[in-house]
Chain A
Amino acid sequence: MRRGGLGLAMVLLVASRASAQTDAPADAAEPINDSQGYTPPAEGAGAPSPLVINGYVDVGFAKAQGNGTSFAPGDQRVPADYGVDPFAPAVNSRGDVASTDAGGRFVNGFLPRSAGIGGNASFLLNTLDVDLKYTPAATPLMVFSRVQLLPRFTGAGDDTRVYVEQAFGRWVPFESQELALSVGKFDSVFGIEYLDNESNIRTGVTPSLVARYTTGQSLGAKLFYRIQLPAIWSAVSLNLAATNSGTFVEALQPPDASLTGAPVGSGRLGYELNAAAVQVKLGASGMFGPRNDQGQQAVHQRAFGLDARVAFHGIYLSAEYVRVDEGEGGPKTTSLGTFPLASGFWVRGGYGQLAYALPWSIGLLHKLTVYGRYDRRHAWFQGFTPITVDRFTGGVRLDLGDSVLLKAEYVANRELAGAPAVANNVFTSSLVYSF
């Protein structure tokens, strides 16, 4: 990246949505309503429809430096995606980058999805999301699906996809307990950034440099349990999952089939303090199982993470540390194709984000939030040059009415070690309509 990116000098601001981020099952499409207001009858006239349709449209506008990739001119090493961070020039909340065109050089499947815009300024239809939630009356079951249309254009032509991001049923067997069992395709349980996966929820536009390891949806079974400790204004939660692919994003490991025949376990143990003046949420996450980008059960991946969120006086701070180790496996398969070799891989990284929502609203402008984030990532493929990169992100978000968001941010990437410096900073923005 070009040096001199944004410093964290931007004052970073809140997230009034701090209070909306709980350790409740994240796949619940809506926050749990615990108000004491009017409760409509469960059945008969006046009962709410058991079927609810929600969704959003995310329209972006982005411009990346250079050719929109992290591939440096003059770098002839192969695989081209091993010596740089191809995920750095992200342009939307999905982590899609401006381009993954390696100029004909061989790549080995360490690639994000591409928006295909290269270094051109372009409008993007990032996501058309449709959520269906069906809650039959008098049954402790909720069925949820999230289908997304992802219009994309590459240099080779149209690459639009219809993507089933989530589809699961959730059963809450005991009314007296915060216990839920979900089976199907659902969000990750690792860390906290998966809570921000959707652009109609995320404070900013782009995900962190470690989101690719922790925020992927996968197919399997999940158990959530939380116990309240009112005497000390606290709660302890446990979220466990056994899935096909663990917590990596689908571009890195296919979630829709197990390539090894054995599930990947993941989980998070959380503690939350809900005092009047301050809210603190802490968590420790883990993931262990076979790599699902190759076929050998004995080739393992493991991850460990720590997360923290603190909200006080309108300031919202979140931070996460992630460590991932992957063994060397056989021929590699991702959602993007097949590749010769699943190399051993290691990464240590994390981010810290600070946000503040200005405590006023004017007409249609319900809220103005400024935010900033610092990311750092150190990673290496077996035998390949270790690389260290970091990133400064700063932006602003406007909540316009109840169903429109406008976000704009600048992403300043730096290659600190190993990877050659390259112009891959990004300006990106996102207009999100919710329905």
Chain B
Amino acid sequence: MSFFRRLAVAVTLSGLAGCGQPPAAPAPWLWTVADLQARAASGQTAVAADATLPGGIPLAQILSDGTLFARPSLADRYSGSYVTTEVWVGYPEVWVQPMYVPVSGWMDGAPVVIADPATGVWKPVFSVGPSSGFYSPFWRAIYFDAPAGTTADTFTSTKQILDAGLPLHEGAGWTIPIVPADLAWGNPAARLETGWVDGAPVATLNFGKRLFTWDAADGVVDEIPMFVFVTHDATGVRVVPNLRIVLGTGAVGSGGPPPPTSGPQPLYSSYWRLYTVEIPPSAVVFPDAAAVTSPEYGGRLVTTPDCLSNPDNIDPEACSYLDSQQAIEQAVPREAIRATDVTVTGPVVTYKNGSPIMPVL
């Protein structure tokens, strides 16, 4: 065997030697609204199907008729709904990113934001675009004192603003996903706006401020649990039945404190980690027949099925439902509540049996 052939064999064998290695960790993945639309257009029916959430998230529960689907849910015992704008898989955490906003001055401590005269709405400069793995729709407003003559289109990139050396003032956290410009949207829970990323205009959905908190030291956005009920099929495989998701109001194990409010309106989180909840053996699904006359209870799990024998006595005073974080954590053992590797942006758009959520602007 020639020297060169021996070398080639040695190199080949060194490559084969790696075949016995354990499989590599899967890549973390982020899907934005544009990614989700593209996935649906390609014929896919679910996202995060390889995650630890059985079956992933059906795309039909995210997108519908060219817009975002308001998925029915439960929170604090009431029916509500939320939309999904981002899905992360394999991200242990996501980070708040800065969003720069020009102001012409300050009035009683509040910034006087420079708006686009055509729309009367601001045009923030977002620091990270949606094609980055580190994009997040959770923005910390950084107001900067703009020089005279500044318009909403004067500053369009982070470099421009920082190089100008203007005074910066930190503000609240805003939930503003960057979305495709042609996204249909008519829900009052968010306002269609525009902004800038690296000098290019982008379309956004502004769900308002105060919908998340973050660690001031490292910028990590705090997670709130979203509970997904799971059971086992005849073959023992875990499956997700078509039940309403329950939105938490505090960290897992906290018992579900009341959410913060803005006036009478609750401010539910917009960032969630999905947790699977094993359905207790004693629980049953609220009967479809009864849901005809009491639709607000449809899709709920009842842990005291005996109460259903009296249709006039099914309210929460008589029946126990798994319809809040508090109820779940009281009725389900902690070991039956498991974190998945899926997190989502899910701003709540209705609450208390259909009342619309309005953005805090």
A residues at B contact (CB < 8 Å)? 72, 74-79, 82-83, 104-106, 108, 173, 181, 220-221, 223, 242, 258-263, 294-297, 299, 328-331, 340-343, 381-386, 415, 417-421
Contact = CB atoms under 8 A, between A and B. Distances in A.
Interface string B1-44: 00100010011001101111100111110000000000000000
Contacts of A263: 11, 14-15
Contact of A261 (B19, B140, B142, B158): B19
B27 A340 contact: no
Interface string B294-315: 0000000000000000000000
B25 A385 contact: no
A263 to B, nearest CB: 6
A239 to B, nearest CB: 14
A332 to B, nearest CB: 10
B233 interface: no
B21 A385 contact: no
B134 A384 contact: yes
A28 to B, nearest CB: 20
Contact of B27 (A82, A259, A330, A385): A330
B14 A420 contact: no
A295 B25 CA distance: 7
Contact of B98 (A77, A173, A220, A418): A77
Contacts of B133: 328, 341, 343, 382-383
Nearest to B163: A421
Nearest to A330: B27
B217 interface: yes
B317 interface: no
B274 to A, nearest CB: 19
A155 to B, nearest CB: 16
A83 B158 contact: yes
Nearest to A181: B7
Contacts of A342: 27
Contacts of A262: 15, 18
A16 to B, nearest CB: 37
Nearest to B127: A77
8 contacts: A75-B158, A77-B158, A223-B7, A261-B20, A295-B24, A383-B132, A419-B159, A420-B163
A296 B25 CA distance: 8
A342 B25 CA distance: 12
Nearest to B198: A385
B162 interface: yes
Interface in B38-59: none
B131 interface: yes
A383 B24 contact: no
Contacts of B24: 259-260, 294-297, 330
A415 to B, nearest CB: 8
Given A83-B158, A383-B133, A329 B27 contact: yes
Interface centre among B19, B25, B90 (most CB of A within 10 A): B25
A383 B27 contact: no
A360 to B, nearest CB: 46
B18 A261 contact: yes
A173 B27 contact: no
Contacts of A105: 218-219
B213 interface: no
Contacts of A108: 134
Contacts of B90: 331
A76 B98 contact: yes
Interface in B81-96: 90-93, 95
A294 B132 CA distance: 18
Interface in B120-135: 127-135
Interface centre among B25, B27, B217 (most CB of A within 10 A): B27
A329 B11 CA distance: 24
B324 interface: no
Contacts of B14: 220-221, 242, 263
Given A328-B133, A331-B28, A385 B11 contact: no
Given A223-B7, A383-B128, A420 B134 contact: no
Contacts of A340: 28, 91-93
Nearest to B140: A76
Nearest to A415: B159
A341 B11 contact: no
A294 B90 CA distance: 14
- Nearest first, the 3 A-B pairs at minimum CB distance are A261-B18, A383-B132, A295-B24
A385 B198 CA distance: 7
A341 B27 CA distance: 7
A140 B84 CA distance: 67
Nearest to A179: B3
Nearest to B217: A104
Interface in B329-360: none
B112 interface: no
Given A331-B90, A340-B93, 15 more contacts: A76-B97, A77-B98, A77-B127, A79-B134, A83-B127, A104-B218, A261-B20, A261-B21, A297-B18, A340-B92, A341-B27, A342-B27, A383-B130, A385-B127, A418-B159
A75 B18 contact: no
A416 B128 CA distance: 19
A284 to B, nearest CB: 21
A420 B166 CA distance: 13
A417 B11 CA distance: 43
B316 to A, nearest CB: 42
A78 B27 contact: no
Nearest to A422: B162
A215 to B, nearest CB: 23
Contacts of B26: 330
Contact of A420 (B18, B25, B92, B162): B162
Interface centre among A79, A385, A386, A418 (most CB of B within 10 A): A385
Interface centre among B14, B134, B140 (most CB of A within 10 A): B134
B173 to A, nearest CB: 12
Nearest to B20: A261
Contacts of A385: 127-128, 157-159, 198
B168 interface: yes
Contacts of A82: 132, 134
Contact of A382 (B132, B157, B217): B132
Contact of B162 (A74, A78, A299): A74
Contacts of A76: 97-98, 127, 140, 142, 219
A383 B129 contact: yes
